[in-house]
Amino acid sequence: MLKLAAVFPGQGSQYVGMGKALYDQHPIVRETFAEADETLGFSLSKLCFEGPEDELTLTRNTQPALLVTSIAVYRLLEAEGFRPALAAGHSLGEYSALVAAGALSFRDAVRTVRLRGELMEQAVPPGEGTMAAILGLDRETVEGLCREIAGVVEPATYNSPGQVVVAGETGAVQALMEAALARGAKRAQPLKVSGPFHSSLLEPAGEKLAQWLETIPVAAPRFAVYSNVTAAPVTRPDEIRRALARQVSAPVRWEESVRHMWAAGIDGFVEIGPGRVLSGLIRRIERSARLFNVESPETLEEFRQEVGLAP
């Protein structure tokens, strides 16, 4: 079997109907959604499958919805014999990676990301913070522009070469977008988000999340999970807790994480869960990497044939 890294998506990959086709066909997927519904005390499965979209896109709902869908797919693959060599997740997706590696229990992760979403929504009043994607400038140029702008605007995610997302106060982000275009950026795109995630404005949320993380069991992962904060594997429970708390207000070092995973000698990446956002980013980071996606019966069957899984 190929030596593959499992990668798990974060906010922005959600859509109404995600996971439904696999839910209809596979008991293990149905069991996973039922476990999440019971844990949360409401029908997250119905929200995933039927919407409405504006409810699904609320951060406090999106985060558990994506985690549950991703882990449902992962459990299905695991039952068929898939074992990743290592893993990572983009922002919220890091929790999915830690569940897959056995570092967090599924129920604890569901409760944690629900709280994480609530804390992130509450950290900055609506309208006072936002995010924007800057395309076509290198990271050093974007970092320099952030330092020149009055107010809080900071790199939030280093996604791929020439794609840096910034976050901060709404006015400062707008000024940064204008400055980036003047400096030669191909595009400066505001993002539809409810806050300035992965910026210092979220530090209060990170502090509250740290307190919660101290109350739940964390184990050493069964395989390497690369942290968004360090772009390196986290192995000890205390290290995992610190990384998850810091991640809320620290930049996501996705490009570095992918390069480090590739350097570890893998054959490719499988994006487990909704969408192909991460596959698109990885293609721009490591063009020779083999890429797979599993989110539907069709993509599951393609993956089975490519890697030799037995249904």
The total of other beta-carbon atoms located within 10 Å of residue 192's CB is 9
Based on the residue annotation, tell me whether 45 is a catalytic residue of this protein.
Answer: no
Local structure of 163: helix, strand or coil: strand
User: With contact defined as beta carbons under 8 Å apart, do 97 and 88 qualify?
Assistant: yes
Active-site hit among 198, 227, 257, 260: 198
Measure the CA–CA gap between 266 and 85, rounded to whole angstroms: 7
Query: Two tokens at 111?
Result: 């409760």
User: With contact defined as beta carbons under 8 Å apart, do 168 and 85 qualify?
Assistant: no
- Name the phi and psi angles at 297, rounded to 5: -55, -40
Based on the residue annotation, tell me whether 90 is a catalytic residue of this protein.
Answer: no
Measure the CA–CA gap between 142 and 133, rounded to whole angstroms: 11
CA angle, corner 170, sides to 168 and 175, nearest 5? Answer: 90
- Specify which residues 42 forms β-bridges with: none
User: With contact defined as beta carbons under 8 Å apart, do 197 and 91 qualify?
Assistant: yes
Active-site hit among 45, 91, 199, 296: 91
Active site residues: 91, 198
